[in-house]
Amino acid sequence: MASIKFCFNSLLVCSILVSVFFNNKVFGGRSRKPNILLLLTDDLDVVIGGMNPLNKTRKLIGDAGVTFTNTYVASPLCCPSRASILTGKYPHNHRVVNNTLEGNCSSTAWQKTQEPVTFPALLRQHCGYQTFFAGKYLNQYGTKEAGGIEHVPPGWDYWYALEKNSKYYNYTLSVNGKAEKHGQNYHQDYLTDVLANFSMDFLEYKRNYQPFFMMISTPAPHSPWTSAPQYEKSFPDVKAPRDPSFNTHGKDKHWLIRQAKTPMTNSSVQFLDNAYRKRWRTLLSVDDLVENVVKKLETRGELDNTYIFFTSDNGYHTGQFSLPVDKRQLYECDIKIPLLVRGPGIKPNQTNKMLVANVDLGPTIMDIAGYDIKKTQMDGMSFLPLMNGEGKNVTWRTDFLVEYEGEGHNQSDPSCPALGPGVAECFPDCVCEDAFNNTYACVRTISASSDLQYCEFDDSEVFVEVYNMTGDPFQLTNIAKSIDHEVLEKMNHRLMMLQSCWGPSCRSAGVFDSGYKFDPRLMFNHHGPRFNKLLRQTLH
C-alpha cells in the first residue's frame, strides 16, 4: 500500500516501479518484449514502380533491414487481403471473398467467427501487448448492416478506424466507437497526416511498461488519389511505365482480359497516366509519416527494440493488357507487393528472395511476441528466421495460393450492353475490370528449378492460364496448351491441395505430394463449371 501511495506522489517513480514489476514478474526477469509496428498502404504496387517515390521509407526501413523481393497476396483486392493479414488465413478459410457485405467483408459472420482470432486479439489477450489501430480497416466497416462505427473489433486498446473505403477528406472516423467527422481543411483533416498525428500521440502517451503493437493503415495510394497541397505539382513528367505488357491485347487470356480494347483510347491512356502521377503524389505524405514515426521511436529510445513492417494489401496495374487502372487480376502487377522490415537482430541492407505471402504476417508477428503459432488456426508461416539470417537452415515453401471471387451482378451494364451480364468496374469506353465470374485460383511457384504460375477459372470456359516466369516475366504467353501434360497435372493437383488446406496442411513446403487424395466437393460452395469438370476428372 505504501508503494501505491508513493506512486501517486511521483508519476516518474511510479512508472519505474511498475516497469520493474512487469519485467520481473510478468516477463520472468527478461527485458521487455519487442514492440511491433505494421505500416499498411492501400493498392501500393511494386512491379510498376510504386516504391520509387518512397525514398525515406526505403532508407529508414529497407536499407536498415531486409527487403523481401518475392512477396505476394492471397487475394488481389483490399478486403479479402486485409482479412488474410489479420487472420493469417487464405480466403477459403476466413471466407472474405471480395469487397461486398455479401462477400463477407466486415459482415456480422466475419465479426463473430474471425475477429476474435485475429493476431491483434491474440497479442492483447495472450502476450501482454497494448494495441493501436489507425486508418482503413475493411471496406464495409462502419456500415449499418455491419454494426456501425460503434463496433470496435476485439483486441484493440486504441481504435481510430475509417468508415468504409479510402478517402483523404470528408470522412468519418470511429474513435473508440464514437463518430468523429472530418471536413476538407488540410491542416485538420488530411487523413494521412491525421493518422500520423494519432500515432505520435500514442507513442508519446502510451503505457511504457508494456510492449506495443501499432497498425497504421494509410489511404494512399488508393483512389481518389488526393495529394497534400504541397505535393500537388510533384512528378509533372512521370507516366505509367510502358513495359511489354502495356497496351497489349491479352488474346490468349481469359474472357475478361480479351474484352479489353487494344490500343486503348487516348482518353484512357491520359486517365491512367494522370492516375499514376497522382498515386505517387499521395505517397509523399506516407513517406513523411514513416519518417516521423521512426524519428519519434528513436527520440524515445525505442527504435532498436521495435520491428517495423512496411507493405501493401495488393498491387495495381495501369495499362497492362489494356486494362486502364485497377487490381483484381492474377498477374504479377496485381498480386506482388512490397515488404520491407527492420528490427532487432536484422542486419541492414539485406534482400531475401524466399517466397513470402501476406498470410505470413500474422504468424511472424505472433512469433516475435513469443506465442506458439501451433496454437492458432493460421495458414501462414513465420518468416522471423528468414529475417534473422537463419534462412539456410529453414525449410520453406516453394508455392502458395491466390484466390479471388469476382464482383458483379448477373445483369448487363446499361452503358455496355454488348458485354453481357455480370460485368463491373467499367470505364466509359466499356472496358470492364471485373465480373461476377472473374473467379479463379492460382498456384504461384518459386523454387530453385521452377518459376511458374498456374491458374484455373470457375467460368463457362473453365479457362486455364500458365506462365513460365523465367522466360516470360511479363506473362505475355499463356502456355497452358503447350506445357508438358505431367507438369500440368501436378500443378492442377497442387492447386486442389492448397484450395482444401487448413492450418498446418497449408504450410507444406513441397510442391507436389503424389500420395495426396483429393475430394473436389471440398473446393467450392456454388458448384460452378470448374467444380463439375474437376469432379468428372477425379471420379472417373
The predicted-structure confidence for 37-47, as pLDDT tens digits, reads as follows 999 999 999 99
pLDDT given at position 31: 56
Whether 78 is a known active-site residue: answer yes
Tens digit of each residue's pLDDT (9 = 90 or more) over 51-64? 999 999 999 999 99
Residue range 203-224: mean pLDDT, rounded? 97
Distance CA 407, CA 437 (A): 8
Tens digit of each residue's pLDDT (9 = 90 or more) over 216-263? 999 999 999 999 999 999 999 999 999 999 999 999 999 999 999 999
Tens digit of each residue's pLDDT (9 = 90 or more) over 454-494? 999 998 888 999 999 999 999 999 999 999 989 899 999 99
Cell of 473: 516475366
Sign of CA dihedral 332, 333, 335, 340: positive
Count of residues in the chain: 540
Tens digit of each residue's pLDDT (9 = 90 or more) over 270-285? 999 999 999 999 999 9
The distance of Cα 145 from the centroid of its chain, to the nearest Å, equals 24
What value does the mean pLDDT of the chain take? 89
Place of cell 512491379: 47
Taking CA atoms, 225 is separated from 5, 284, 385, in Å, by 54, 12, 37
pLDDT given at position 248: 98
Using a cut of 0.85, tell me whether the model's pTM lies above it. yes
What region, left, alpha or beta, does residue 104 occupy, with left being phi > 0 and alpha being psi -120 to 50 degrees? Answer: left
Residue range 166-187: mean pLDDT, rounded? 98
Give me the percent of the chain exceeding a pLDDT of 70.
Answer: 88
pLDDT given at position 391: 66
Is residue 393 pLDDT above 90, yes or no? no
Is residue 8 pLDDT above 50, yes or no? no
Q: Which of these, 404, 327, 463, lies nearest to 47 by C-alpha position?
A: 327
Distance CA 130, CA 202 (A): 11
Is residue 524 pLDDT above 80, yes or no? no
Of 461 and 265, the one with more pLDDT: 265
Place of cell 518459386: 446
Q: Which of these, 325, 331, 321, lies nearest to 425 by C-alpha position?
A: 325
Beta bridge partners of 465: 455
Q: Which of these, 79, 76, 118, lies nearest to 95 by C-alpha position?
A: 79
Tens digit of each residue's pLDDT (9 = 90 or more) over 92-145? 999 999 999 999 999 999 999 999 999 999 999 999 999 999 999 999 999 999
Distance CA 26, CA 212 (A): 15
Residue range 419-439: mean pLDDT, rounded? 89
pLDDT given at position 412: 81
Is residue 166 pLDDT above 80, yes or no? yes
Distance CA 240, CA 223 (A): 16
Distance CA 103, CA 527 (A): 17
Distance CA 142, CA 230 (A): 31
pLDDT given at position 408: 84
Cell of 33: 518484449
299 exposed, middle or buried (CB, 10 Å; 0-12, 13-18, 19+)? exposed
Active-site hit among 78, 79, 333, 442: 78
Amino acid identity for residue 291 in this structure:
E
Taking CA atoms, 10 is separated from 24, 64, 523, in Å, by 21, 38, 62
Residue range 4-32: mean pLDDT, rounded? 38
